Chain A
Amino acid sequence: MLFLNNDVSKAVITLMNIIIVLVPLIGTIFGVMYFYNSKEFTELLLAQPIKRSSIFSGQYLGVAGSLALSLVLGLGIPFVAYGIFRSNAIFDFTLLLVTGAFLTLIFTALSFNIALTNENKIKGFGYAVLLWLFMAVIYDGLFLMSLIVFKEYPLDSFSLTATMFNPIDLSRTLILLKLDISALLGYTGAVFKQFFGTNQGLTVSLIMLILWTVLPVWRLVVISKKKDF
């Protein structure tokens, strides 16, 4: 890719399209699969003198941490070798890696939640894939429909909030607007640029991503304390 167009920013966009869709899918599937597969292991550990919250947070960190690390290292090393530090796209690229890592953490936590609340494996898998499908595809569709239906009204703040409530959309918008191509996006793009382009917008988005990570993990710990095995 880099050899084809020699432009790191364009490579970042292409990669973003892959990362935004694939990373959540991988996180979701791996999370559910791991959780169901290690059921026996969990039962074995529960009878040992270990705190419940440490068992489950340990499992979560093991899966999410290694997935995030493989993403960051797998993408980071080739780009470092290519000479990313000398290019001016370093900030965009770092942002891509950070959002990718966050997406992994978020979707692994969500899938663990699903697996913990569903004893039935098939059901759990179904819900997890549905969650990914909803966040990656259906949400956008609904969003677009609502924009068309209510197009007579000012929708700036609505679309901003709606973007905030979907981690995939949030990451996508965050990266796109950092890449200075928002001129293509018209008036709404300008509003978005005003928000996400500033440091304040970046901070708010990062806080949202952190919230998206912390809340499912917190729910995971709470539910695991009450569950029977």
Chain B
Amino acid sequence: MIEVENLYKKFGKNEVLLGLNLSIDKGGIFAVLGPNGSGKTTLIKSVLGMVVPNSGTISVGGTTIKKNWKYRKEIDYLPQIANFPGNLKVKELIRMIKDLRQMPSNEEVLISRFGLESFLDKKLSTLSGGTKQKVNIVLAFMFECPLLILDEPTTGLDPASLIHLKTLIKQEKAKGKTILITSHIMQFVAEIADEIVYLLEGKIYFKGSIEELKIKTDQSDLEHAIAAIANTSTNV
């Protein structure tokens, strides 16, 4: 589904990705983990074409993404920080994105599931952080795209919405979609992820299932296993 080869990216003097290689197969939930500033968001934005890499190739669904934009029709993206134009109403924003995508969508189900009906006529600038995140989720999940990229989907959500989000992600997985998630909440990752990709210093440090990670680090739970990776790497 996604093939990344020798990806290099630096912002000024800050080298974020150093020859990253990654291949993600079709179907399943992949969690991209790593300490702050390890390049998770940069990797995701490179796949989306928002960040232009210094060198290296990325292909999504068999086509290289360089100088190409049509491949984004196959991707649903949930950005890390929900930055919406504040002068639009929620309803208008949803309509606009639908208009851009020209695809069948199921936003009504999602709106009622997250209880957003009463917010539809409100301006986005007046919404709270959690509500904005819910709008963000609705926008990301309302189309049927084979690839779903979620950057920190849990930020600002209350427990009830978190449960909704988890069931939603599992539903999408059952449809055979490929889902890419970044998160710092290990409990959430342990619950839903099939495979873990651990980024460290601009490279893939580990890729495999949670069980493999636990065996490798000799730890019994995921949170400690992840912390153990971070420690061993700083000691080396």
Contacts and interface: CB of A to CB of B under 8 A. Distances in A.
Interface residues of A, number: 19
Interface stretch (B76-84, B109-117, B222-230): B76-84
A154 B102 CA distance: 64
Interface stretch (B48-56, B189-197, B198-206, B208-216): B48-56
B173 interface: no
A229 B97 contact: no
B50 A50 contact: no
A83 B231 CA distance: 83
Interface string A212-229: 000000000000011111
Contacts of B52: 225-228
B51 A38 contact: no
Contacts of A228: 11, 45, 50-52
Contacts of B77: 47
B69 A49 contact: yes
B86 to A, nearest CB: 8
A229 B51 contact: yes
A229 B50 contact: yes
A228 B11 CA distance: 9
A40 B101 contact: no
A44 B72 contact: no
Interface string A197-224: 0000000000000000000000000000
Interface in A29-60: 38-41, 43-52
B50 A43 contact: yes
B70 interface: yes
Given A38-B85, A43-B79, A48 B51 contact: no
Contacts, number: 53
A47 B85 contact: no
Nearest to A47: B77
B100 interface: yes
B85 A49 contact: no
B73 A49 contact: yes
Interface in A46-79: 46-52
Contact of A49 (B45, B50, B70, B83): B70
Interface string B39-63: 0000001001111100000000000
Contacts of B101: 48-49
Contact of A50 (B11, B75, B100): B100
Nearest to A228: B51
Contact of B84 (A44, A46, A226, A229): A44
Contact of A47 (B11, B70, B72, B86): B72
B69 A44 contact: no
Contact of B83 (A43, A50, A51): A43
Given A226-B52, A229-B51, A49 B72 contact: yes
A48 B97 contact: yes
A227 B97 CA distance: 23
Interface of A: 38-41, 43-52, 225-229
Instruction: Pick the 7 closest A-B CB pairs, nearest first.
Output: A40-B83, A49-B72, A41-B85, A49-B73, A228-B51, A47-B77, A229-B50
20 contacts: A38-B85, A40-B83, A40-B85, A41-B85, A44-B83, A46-B48, A47-B48, A47-B50, A48-B97, A48-B100, A49-B72, A49-B100, A49-B101, A50-B69, A50-B72, A225-B52, A228-B51, A228-B52, A229-B45, A229-B51
